[in-house]
């Protein structure tokens, strides 16, 4: 987009406009997603508890219930405890929101469609997502309340512990694909749903469920929401918050839920590709991120974005389902689940997936073409690089030979001898002429 606008604007202005457009699109996604998730939370909770949920505000299904909640929070008094740290208390909610929002910058939504394309996008997402815990810690510390401090310390212990199995689960598809580029991982799963990494081997299938467990704990959702256990800590780290600042915490939480769900879709469930390659059959989908613009590819990418968002929303719905179904765990049970179950299972599956890739590099029953194509592309790039290196070496050798020949000519001219008689000017690989051989015999 920036390159296209550079034809009509200054390059700096074109990149600025591109950045603003990308930021607004991502902001619209997280804002609209939060509104929908709050409504979904109420309706799912009502159905599981044999209730109707919102039915009055905005029609029969309560479509405007989230808007009413937002107006209520905006008009509530924004209080701050007397013993609180004023700067950190006000800053804490927005740190978590910025961290959850920033992760969407490197997340690809379709073939070549990402705000910032990066070859280490999965590493950046995991690193930035880990910053959200500072929001909870600062909120607990700056509130001047022991209940908030207990909640912040619980969150710190929980998130730091669950980052280990979560990282191991992410390493499995990264190892299978051979890259940390999420766009490349998504493209490797192009085709039938049998190409999805969740069906690559039994170990990856198990890791997918371990990832869902660790992701639920990392975003502080029940049954792992010990940081805000109202039965023990009043309301946990956000006990002293109200109004807009209180709502910002939950905006960050819903954004993180959507992010880890979309990340699971890209790593395990085909990304923006559907179970059937309809647009590939039609021959209009982009073959890679470097493909030129076409309206058919644009249409395929639009449906790909819808497909990825739908998978993300389904993941969020599963988290809500789990929250209103299972009881909250104790803090010792939460840590035991991480250290005694999730981490060993993730390590075992990582080792098993590595052995499986070594033993069956192309699969057992099905031979997915995308993986072979990617490997061929990597080999071609490596071959081209090797040829380029050999060419540089050959040119360097030719230059060295030419330099030696020139040195021999200069020395011969100083001695009064013709340069043709010097050994440096003779090609040792050249085949002698018959006449030369005859003269030598004579």
Comparing 198 with 390, which gets the higher pLDDT?
198
Question: Among the three residues 337, 366, 381, which one is the final residue of a domain in this structure?
Answer: 381
Contacts of 328 (CB under 8 A, 6+ apart): 222, 223, 225, 226, 229, 231
Q: Is residue 319 part of a domain?
A: yes
Q: Is residue 418 part of a domain?
A: no
Taking the C-alpha atoms of residue 326 and residue 113, their distance in angstroms, rounded to an integer, is 38
Comparing 112 with 350, which gets the higher pLDDT?
350
Note the pLDDT tens digit of each residue in 57-100.
Answer: 888 889 899 999 999 988 988 888 888 899 999 999 999 999 99
Instruction: Tally the residues of the chain.
Output: 442
Q: Is residue 425 part of a domain?
A: no
pLDDT of residue 352: 95
Residues 171, 264 within the same domain: yes
Mean pLDDT of 223-249: 77
Q: Is residue 92 part of a domain?
A: yes
Q: Is residue 30 part of a domain?
A: yes
Q: Is 110 helix (H, G, I), strand (E, B) or coil?
A: strand
Taking the C-alpha atoms of residue 297 and residue 303, their distance in angstroms, rounded to an integer, is 10
Taking the C-alpha atoms of residue 154 and residue 137, their distance in angstroms, rounded to an integer, is 9
For the chain, the domain total comes to 2
Question: Among the three residues 21, 54, 75, which one is the final residue of a domain in this structure?
Answer: 75
Residues 272, 293 within the same domain: yes
- What's the domain range around 108? 85-381
Residues 58, 109 within the same domain: no
Q: Is residue 438 part of a domain?
A: no
Question: Of 110, 159, 153, which is closest to residue 132 (Cα–Cα)?
Answer: 159
C-beta separation of 26 from 115 below 8 A: yes
Residues 130, 275 within the same domain: yes
pLDDT bucket at 379, cuts 50 / 70 / 90:
very low
Residue 301 CB neighbours (<10 A): 19
Which residues on adjacent β-strands are paired with residue 110?
113
> Has this prediction a pTM greater than 0.95?
no
Taking the C-alpha atoms of residue 246 and residue 75, their distance in angstroms, rounded to an integer, is 12
Question: Of 385, 370, 364, which is closest to residue 179 (Cα–Cα)?
Answer: 370
Contacts of 111 (CB under 8 A, 6+ apart): 183, 186, 187, 272, 285, 286, 288, 289, 291, 297, 300, 301, 304
Question: Among the three residues 26, 48, 75, which one is the final residue of a domain in this structure?
Answer: 75
Residues 99, 53 within the same domain: no
| Residue 390 backbone class (left: φ over 0; alpha: ψ -120 to 50; beta: rest) | alpha
Q: Is residue 56 part of a domain?
A: yes
Residues 177, 254 within the same domain: yes
Q: Is 171 helix (H, G, I), strand (E, B) or coil?
A: helix
Residues 11, 136 within the same domain: no
Taking the C-alpha atoms of residue 280 and residue 278, their distance in angstroms, rounded to an integer, is 5
């Amino acid at each position: 987009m920036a390159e296209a606008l550079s034809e009509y604007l200054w390059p700096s202005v074109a990149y600025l406009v591109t950045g603003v457009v990308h930021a607004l699109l991502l902001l619209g996604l997280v804002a609209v997603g939060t509104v929908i998730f709050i409504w979904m939370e109420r309706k799912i909770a009502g159905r599981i508890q044999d209730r109707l949920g919102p039915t009055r505000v905005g029609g029969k299904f309560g479509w405007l219930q989230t808007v009413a909640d937002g107006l209520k929070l905006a008009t509530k008094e924004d209080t701050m405890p007397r013993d609180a740290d004023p700067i950190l208390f006000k800053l804490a909610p927005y740190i978590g929101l910025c961290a959850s929002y920033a992760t969407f910058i490197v997340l690809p939504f379709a073939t070549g469609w990402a705000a910032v394309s990066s070859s280490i996008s999965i590493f950046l997402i995991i690193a930035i997502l880990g910053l959200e815990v500072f929001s909870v810690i600062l909120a607990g510390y700056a509130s001047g309340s022991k209940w908030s401090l207990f909640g912040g310390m619980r969150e710190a212990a929980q998130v730091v512990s669950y980052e280990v199995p979560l990282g191991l689960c992410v390493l499995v598809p990264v190892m299978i694909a051979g890259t940390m580029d999420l766009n490349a991982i998504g493209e490797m799963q192009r085709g039938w749903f049998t190409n999805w990494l969740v069906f690559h081997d039994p170990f990856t299938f198990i890791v997918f469920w371990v990832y869902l467990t660790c992701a639920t704990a990392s975003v502080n959702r029940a049954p792992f929401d010990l940081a805000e256990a109202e039965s023990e800590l009043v309301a946990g780290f956000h006990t002293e918050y109200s109004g807009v600042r209180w709502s910002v915490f939950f905006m960050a939480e819903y954004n993180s839920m959507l992010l880890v769900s979309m990340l699971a879709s890209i790593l395990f469930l085909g990304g923006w590709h559907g179970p059937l390659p309809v647009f590939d059959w039609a021959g209009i989908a982009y073959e890679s991120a470097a493909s030129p613009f076409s309206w058919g590819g644009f249409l395929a990418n639009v449906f790909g974005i819808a497909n990825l968002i739908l998978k993300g929303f389904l993941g969020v719905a599963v988290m809500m389902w789990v929250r209103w179904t299972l009881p909250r765990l104790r803090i010792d049970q939460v840590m035991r689940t991480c250290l005694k179950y999730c981490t060993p299972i993730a390590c075992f599956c990582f080792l098993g997936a590595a052995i499986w890739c070594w033993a069956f590099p192309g699969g057992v029953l099905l031979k997915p073409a995308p993986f072979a194509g990617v490997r061929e592309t990597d080999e071609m790039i490596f071959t081209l690089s090797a040829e380029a290196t050999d060419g540089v070496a050959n040119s360097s050798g030719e230059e060295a030979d030419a330099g030696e020949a020139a040195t021999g000519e200069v020395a011969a001219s100083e001695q009064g001898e013709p340069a043709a008689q010097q050994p440096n000017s003779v090609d040792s690989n050249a085949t002698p002429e018959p006449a030369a051989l005859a003269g030598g015999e004579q």
